[in-house]
A and B are shown apart, each in its own frame.
Chain A
């Protein structure tokens, strides 16, 4: 360490600390040299380097130095401020210093990790550290603004993630509104027959949770609804929800389904979306018997009354509770919540985007979701495995990684396909006795009991062929291939190309971000990764947080994951929300802007710039004024003010100019 007595002439006394971060920083940057160099800058009275600044001894050292050396400013050169700015602000407070008399220098993510040239990286660290020292002199003592947190929570998406999060919060006594786009909650899990590897019946473990949601006094369930707009900030979000018309009064319908029997369409005629189009339904329908809420709905696209107004409305006559209401309109509701949990899930890869497998061209090529419905006891075939013509397949080929691990579609591994393919192989064999072939690239079974399940399947006599299927065709080369679908594949274990004829092909489609993920991301002001899944704040240490405080993510909207991981993540998101609610307030970063009234010339340049309408103009005083509660701290107005009378805390002009001077000084 170096110590000197600069700064006695009225300039603030600065303490500088540089972190080795083990070898993460010290391996590339000569920290001792930077430390020595910074100690020569006037005003720096303490300069030290230390193995791990963020550790307790590191923080203690800062606090003790502040007291002993009467430090008035603090600069720490370490990792990204996104990681440890708060840590060192707390250390400053411990030493009795205002936390905003601190500036962090990012020499890990922005230097040691991205450069190989040690000399250049050290020079860069010096420049950045010098800039922080120059800048911190101008820092001001600031107070964090405290705002109360509304205890109500919004959960978006009623799959297993949303259900679990909502129930966890509701059981803790918090009021939750669960908004689901479809007519029923349950999400993808409601489509499944069994869940791997325990082969629990999905409905048996899911439907009790669905009815708990419906009956819970703390949960308001809005299905067939979508979030249209989100305003506000952590603790105080104002959410607009659009409730689509079901043409059935939800509070009156008891789900007796008399109306469905009475419909003028005697037979179900229209493709049933819930059953992946494998079944048929009437214009008045309910997705499945345990749909929650157990309320029918009418499809305006196919209902004669809604389309033409000329139907005898036998459904309405059949309803003795008079629940059917053809005049229902879309409702717009407003909600006030403090925190939001996003659990909007995934969409399955569109198998038509992988044309080599013939989905849509050969009728007996199915997607895994279709087969989930086929094997489901409450599905369109009541659990019977049938081809499109009703015949039973004698051989089935399951192709893994359709739309996963593929440069042409999605690069990522969808994590669940190996396991659900094994599950389907087991179920198909069990239900139909057919020969089942699995075509896989790598078998990925990382999870409790997963590898054991794979072993079990091997013993059951399911065939495994390692290789990516090149194509599915109906072109027979041998008599035994006549009338079959032929899978051409390089068996990479045997080392030759094989042709395997089967009756049915199942495409294990991967998990993708929902088509409107980008739109949703903008609506909620959160981020998406490159692949389009919602971005977590930190991949390891903040996996359910987003970059927007008070908005959390859970389940497959963040990335492909199975049910146990989804439930764990939903619980974590609920815990994060509870932490905010039970603290009761949040402290906002004081980086808001304010107008120095005596310098304001009243030009009004700033007024229209603010996207949050935080700037008003006092017509009597002829001065602009900023409402600091509405200000989000972007600083757009400060950059535009021609008289320089708008100051943004932590980013004042002189702070930025001194930083520029600092990086450029020699």
Chain B
């Protein structure tokens, strides 16, 4: 368990062995989650570089996208990553008070808190989105954060939003077909 847990803004998933809350399949054996990360150039990206230079080993599930400031991350980027099939999204910025751009990370915090409520309403579990403050010196924290998040998301199982979108589309199509059928009088009206 990460010793930096206290910095975690989003509480992670409640229990590691719980089945997915939205009734999805239980984690399949050998399931490896894919996590999209947005790292700010000055702190967290540098920390990830430091982790590399220090040859720390961590789970290979994260794909880092570099932004200049965590404040550049539009909540829609996070939603887009989920919509494209990410099982988790990690956002890394400078510690409060340390932002290279004075206060960009405060704006991140505000936006992401709002986003978290929305994710909850959408049925996306807590542990799938995480905001972490990792300074340029904290290569070790990159390692522990990534490993911890990968383990938790792995336990949650695949999110597979694209699959759900397809399911929902199918439901709508079916409903549409049903409604059209009713209008054409082909289906007996039940009532």
User: Within the complex, what minimum Cβ distance (angstroms) separates B113 from chain A?
Assistant: 15
A548→B100 CA distance, assembly (Å): 9
**Contact of A639 with B138 in the complex, beta carbons under 8 Å:** no
* Chain B hits for A109, CB < 8 A: 48-49, 51-53
Query: Looking at the complex, which one of B52, B100, B135 makes contact with A110 (CB distance below 8 Å)?
Result: B52
Whether A635 lies near B69 (C-beta < 8 A) is yes
Are A651 and B68 interface neighbours, CB within 8 A? yes
A525 / chain B contacts, CB cutoff of 8 Å: 100
B63 touches A651 (CB 8 A): no
Chain B residues whose CB sits within 8 angstroms of the CB of A131 once the complex forms? 63, 65
Judge whether B53 and A113 touch: CB under 8 Å: yes
Residue among A612, A638, A663 making CB contact with B72, cutoff 8 Å: A638
B34 within 8 A of A: yes
> Is B16 interfacial (CB 8 A cutoff)?
no
A411 at the interface (CB under 8 A from B): no
- Encoded as 1 (CB less than 8 Å from any A CB) or 0, chain B from 41 to 54 comes to 01001101101110
Q: Which of A262-270, A418-426, A652-660 contacts B (4 or more CB under 8 A)?
A: A652-660
Which chain A positions have C-beta within 8 A of B77? 656-657, 660
CA distance A633 to B36 in the complex (A): 23
In the complex, how many angstroms separate the beta carbon of A68 from the nearest chain B beta carbon? Answer: 30
- Bound CA span A284–B15, Å: 68
Using CB atoms, name the residue of chain B closest to A548: B100
Contact A115 B57 (CB under 8 A): yes
Query: Which of B51, B56, B57, B104 contacts A636, CB < 8 Å?
Result: B104
Instruction: Determine the distance from Cα of A82 to Cα of B136 in the docked complex, in whole angstroms.
Output: 13
Question: Do A114 and B85 form a contact, CB below 8 Å, given A632-B101, A638-B72?
Answer: no
Q: Mark A624-644, 1 if CB is under 8 A from B, else 0.
A: 000000001111101110000
Q: Given A121-B60, A635-B69, A664-B36, A114–B102 Cβ distance below 8 Å?
A: no
Q: Smallest CB-CB separation from B53: which chain A residue?
A: A109
Interface size on A, residues (CB 8 A): 52
Stretch at the interface among A172-180, A450-458, A527-535: A527-535
- Interface membership of A325, Cβ < 8 A: no
Chain A nearest CB: distance from B47 CB in Å?
Answer: 10
B73 on the A face (CB < 8 A): yes
B178 within 8 A of A: no
Cβ of B121 to closest chain A Cβ, rounded Å: 20
Shortest beta-carbon distance, B65 to chain A, in Å?
Answer: 5
Q: Do B65 and A660 touch (CB < 8 A)?
A: yes
Contact A82:B49 (CB < 8 A) given known A527-B135, A656-B77:
yes
Residues of B within 8 Å of A548, CB to CB, are 100
- Tell me the A203-235 residues at the B interface (CB within 8 Å): none
Residue of A nearest to B74 (CB): A639
Which of chain B's residues have a CB closer than 8 A to the CB of A106?
49, 64, 66
Complex Cα gap A638–B68 (Å): 12
User: CB < 8 Å: which of B45, B104, B135, B136 contacts A634?
Assistant: B104
Q: Does B173 contact A (CB under 8 A)?
A: no
Q: Which chain A residues numbered 39 to 84 have a C-beta less than 8 Å away from chain B?
A: 80-82
Instruction: Pick from B58, B72, B136 the residue with the most CB of A within 10 Å.
Output: B72
Q: How far is the CB of B94 from chain A (nearest CB, A)?
A: 9
B73: contacting residue among A611, A639, A657, A664, CB under 8 A: A639
Q: Given the complex of chains A and B, what is the CA–CA distance between A120 and B74 in angstroms?
A: 29
Select B34's contact among A639, A648, A664, beta carbons within 8 Å: A664
Residue A491 at the chain B interface, CB threshold 8 Å: no
| B103 interface residue per 8 A CB criterion | yes
In chain B, positions 105-137 with a C-beta closer than 8 Å to chain A are: 107, 111, 135-137
A634 CA to B43 CA, complexed, in Å: 13
Contacts of B85 in A (CB 8 A): 664
**Cβ 8 A contact of B111, one of A111, A124, A639:** A639
Q: Scoring A residues 99 to 141 as 1 if CB is less than 8 Å from chain B, else 0, what string do you get?
A: 0000000101111011111001101100110010000000000
Q: Which of chain B's residues have a CB closer than 8 A to the CB of A661?
A: 84
Cα–Cα distance between A653 and B80 once the two chains are bound (Å): 11
Enumerate 28 A-B pairs (CB-CB under 8 Å) in ascending A order: A81-B66, A82-B45, A109-B48, A110-B49, A110-B52, A113-B52, A114-B55, A114-B56, A114-B57, A114-B60, A115-B58, A116-B57, A121-B60, A527-B42, A527-B137, A547-B136, A609-B107, A611-B102, A612-B102, A634-B100, A635-B67, A635-B69, A636-B72, A639-B71, A651-B67, A657-B80, A660-B80, A663-B65
A-B residue pairs, 8 tightest by C-beta = A109-B52, A635-B72, A636-B71, A634-B101, A634-B69, A664-B84, A120-B60, A611-B102
